[in-house]
Amino acid sequence: MTADFNGGHLVPFVDNILEWVPVVPDDHTSLDRSSSRGFGYLPSLTCGYGSKIEVHESSSAHGPHLWLRIRQPSDLNEMGLCNARGQKYEGEWQDAAAHLPVEVAEALIDQLRAVIDGHYQS
């Protein structure tokens, strides 16, 4: 049994408890739409507990920037329980955003790569 649920895919894990599986579109590095000002948007990525990450182009008087936006359930424990029960999460959501200059975005990429490369479960 597989189900699209709470922004991701749920698949059987242990003892018929459903586990959430991330969603990464095949074209996740291709701009899929643009704003009224012409800024490109990449497809959203769906992560653990149904959190969504979105990146899109922006600008400032100081040069190119990008927006990094994250939307996640306010109660991550409840979202996990809903997934395990095969129920839709009905709780509140919270949003965060960062307007990054290119230099900071590149530093974030470096940090992500360092954590990925050195992760204890790799």
pLDDT at position 8 is 53
pLDDT at position 17 is 46
pLDDT at position 21 is 65
- Residues (pLDDT < 50) of the chain are 1-3, 5, 10-18
Q: How far lies 58's CA from each of 17, 41, 42, 71, 97, in Å?
A: 42, 10, 12, 19, 12
pLDDT at position 50 is 78
Report field, pTM of the whole predicted structure over 0.85: no
pLDDT at position 66 is 96
Q: In this structure, what DSSP letter does residue 44 have?
A: P
pLDDT at position 12 is 45
pLDDT at position 84 is 73
pLDDT at position 14 is 45
Percent of the chain with pLDDT over 90: 48
